[in-house]
Structure 1
Amino acid sequence: MTTRHHAQLRIAADLAILTVREGALHALVITRGNEPFAGKPALPGGFVRTDEDLDAAAVRELREETCLNGADLHLEQFGVYGEPHRDPRGRVVSVAYLAIMPNLPWPSAGSDASGAAWVAVDRAQGNLAFDHDRILYDAVERARQRLELTTLATAFCPPEFTIGDLRSVYEVVWGETLDPRNFSRKVINTEGFIEPTGRKRVPATGRPAALYRAGNVATLNPPILRPSTDS
């Protein structure tokens, strides 16, 4: 008779929290205070307690490690990571959460984190503990898809903004330079994406630029696709 060995699993929740700061896409990164990987950067997260819902665990871990209130964020599950050797402590399956929001405050380290900070994604990737580089990569890709399909980019603009302001958000998140005329045409032709205010921003030099506000739809139809994926 063949003996079957069933894994003794522990479940974790890991969080990729993204925002735009100083013209670059940033991720929330902690410095681990405990082994394994003490002193290494990682995404916030930790083990789910036996009497705890997954979403509640994600909110708790974010609060304990960074002092940010996850209840104020729209956290969405975007992946499950279960490679057998991803955690040296044993068989751990992680449920990954994503939030991409504007105007997030500076974090403060707590719990088993010895540090917490916003770090530019291109600096963070390649240095994270566990398999968090892969989780962050997947999170950034999901965020980029969100900009293709939804009006999320307007949340990173002031209440009144130019199309150039909006294009800058896309360029930061996508990591691509966009053709201004082509982008403007797509935005204006996407019903409900933005609404004109009738006002203009007058710069110190150059031509005045029309001001817009966020429109009344949440989903873009048609989507605005990245140049690298737009066929």
Structure 2
Amino acid sequence: MASEAEFLDGYDPSAYERLTLAVDLVLLGLSGGSLAALLLERQAHPHAGRWALPGGLVGIDEPLEAAAARVLRDKAGLTQAHLEQLYTFGGLDRDPRMRIVSVAYLALLSERAFAEALAGGSGLVAATLDVPWAGEAGGPVTARAAGGAPLPLAFDHAEILALAVLRLRGKLDYSEVGFALLPEHFTLRQLQDVHEAILGAPLNKPAFRRRMLDRGWLSATGLREAGTSFRPAELYRFQRPR
């Protein structure tokens, strides 16, 4: 029996068909009080004129995380964001050019980071997500432009967005994901706005605030919001559970 070194010396990778690997980024934030994703209009075929998640092909010697960070930097102008692998999409007909498998990453952006990406000059737009299903039922979503018109999406990016919303809703009640959309200091009203935007449904104000305070996730800052004509609300910060 040949040694492993001898086996590798004689191994011919060209004897097998190859596929191409890509990464796509689901960059979510709030726009006008609604959950929104950052999209780019495709300028070239296939799907020219349709809207897509920022993404790119993975280099042959490039780790997945490095490829995702590169796309984040080059197409969103952001150097920092928590990128979490969402799912791997490998439908046979997802791209008409060739067999391309995409690893989708989810990133939740604060209002400031969301605005920085939009102002970066890369052509990103904020598309509001219309989610017609309640809770964690799952299903298609529609991306809408500022005027409310639906944006035609490229490839299987509607499916990717739908899974991102499903993942976010599933983690909202037991994890800290909702706080990623908030500034460092926030009011309880802002926190509830985030939860309602993600869930797509109104929440009972007293019950929500009691639940959030009882969890021990919030730390009072002793500060109050500025620039309001009403009684300024108290500001909190996220306190990581021990």
**TM-score above 0.5, yes or no:** yes
Check conservation: 1:156, 1:169, Cα contact below 8 A. Answer: yes
Number of aligned residue pairs:
206
Aligned to 2:92: 84
Is 1:132–2:157 an aligned residue pair? yes
Distance 1:209 1:107, change over 3 A: closer
Whole-angstrom CA distance in 2 between matches of 1:67 and 1:200: 32
Give 2:81's aligned amino acid: L
Is 1:145–2:170 an aligned residue pair? yes
User: Secondary structure of 1:77's match?
Assistant: strand
Could you state the TM-score of these two structures normalised by the residue count of structure 1?
A: 0.78
Is 1:171–2:196 an aligned residue pair? yes
Check conservation: 2:33, 2:197, Cα contact below 8 A. Answer: yes
Whole-angstrom CA distance in 1 between matches of 2:190 and 2:80: 25
Give 1:124's aligned amino acid: A
Check conservation: 1:153, 1:170, Cα contact below 8 A. Answer: yes
Is 1:196–2:220 an aligned residue pair? yes
Percent identity of the aligned residues?
36
Q: CA deviation at 1:76?
A: 1.2
Aligned to 1:73: 81
Which runs of 5 or more residues in structure 2 are unaligned? 1-14, 131-141, 145-150
Find 1:13's aligned residue among 7, 23, 30. Answer: 23
Distance 1:200 1:68, change over 3 A: closer
Q: CA deviation at 1:19?
A: 0.9
Check conservation: 1:30, 1:109, Cα contact below 8 A. Answer: no
Is 1:162–2:171 an aligned residue pair? no
Whole-angstrom CA distance in 1 between matches of 2:106 and 2:59: 20
Whole-angstrom CA distance in 1 between matches of 2:107 and 2:63: 18
Could you state the TM-score of these two structures normalised by the residue count of structure 2?
A: 0.74
Check conservation: 1:12, 1:94, Cα contact below 8 A. Answer: yes
Whole-angstrom CA distance in 1 between matches of 2:31 and 2:169: 16
Distance 1:109 1:161, change over 3 A: closer
Find 1:35's aligned residue among 34, 38, 45. Answer: 45
Check conservation: 2:184, 2:238, Cα contact below 8 A. Answer: no
Whole-angstrom CA distance in 2 between matches of 1:162 and 1:57: 36
Aligned to 2:240: 217
Whole-angstrom CA distance in 2 between matches of 1:67 and 1:154: 21
Q: Deviations over 1:118-144 (max 9, x none)?
A: 211225277210000000111122222
Whole-angstrom CA distance in 2 between matches of 1:67 and 1:187: 32
User: Secondary structure of 2:173's match?
Assistant: helix
Q: CA deviation at 1:197?
A: 4.0
Whole-angstrom CA distance in 2 between matches of 1:128 and 1:35: 13
Which runs of 5 or more residues in structure 1 are unaligned? 220-231
Check conservation: 1:77, 1:96, Cα contact below 8 A. Answer: yes
Check conservation: 1:17, 1:28, Cα contact below 8 A. Answer: yes
User: Secondary structure of 1:78's match?
Assistant: strand
Distance 1:200 1:67, change over 3 A: closer
Q: Deviations over 1:138-185 (max 9, x none)?
A: 112222234222233334445543322211111112211101121112
Whole-angstrom CA distance in 2 between matches of 1:215 and 1:12: 34
Q: CA deviation at 1:67?
A: 4.3
User: Secondary structure of 1:149's match?
Assistant: coil
Distance 1:121 1:31, change over 3 A: same
Whole-angstrom CA distance in 2 between matches of 1:150 and 1:132: 25
Is 1:26–2:51 an aligned residue pair? no
Q: Once superposed, what is the RMSD of the aligned Cα atoms?
A: 2.7
